[in-house]
Amino acid sequence: MSTAIITSDTSANHLTGDGHPERPARVVAIIEKLKKRNDLIWDKPKKFDLNILKKAHDEKYIDMVQKSFPKEGLKFLDGDTVISPGSEKATKEAVGSILKAIDSVEQKKYKNAFCVVRPPGG
């Protein structure tokens, strides 16, 4: 069994503004480094029912986040978290990556998995 890297191109669309430490270049650097290895399996996030989020988050919080994604520009979700129009899909695919990793390891498809995602904590 091998290690899976689960990621999505949508991470680059989660924009946080110039100078913010959590930026697309972080994921790009990680992916470039990992692609030099030939012992990894690359995989994509899974689709999931948004109701699964209720297992970890309050429904009011989920609703607030879903309504917060701006149509244009950047917006602060809180004091540290900047979101952009591309953040919505990036967030969903980050969650889908984590769920894919958990399911795949539990089903013994992969020995382990690493999710290269943005925003962090997807």
Residue type for 111, please? K
Give the residue extent of every domain in the chain: 3-116
| Contact between residue 93 and residue 117 where contact means Cβ atoms under 8 Å apart | yes
Global pTM value: 0.91
Q: What is the pLDDT tens value at each position of the chain, 122 positions in all?
A: 699 999 999 999 999 998 888 889 999 999 999 999 999 999 999 999 999 999 999 999 999 999 999 999 999 988 888 999 999 999 999 999 999 999 999 999 999 999 999 987 65
- d(CA 32, CA 37) in angstroms, rounded, equals 10
Nearest C-alpha neighbor of 52 from the set 98, 109, 119: 98
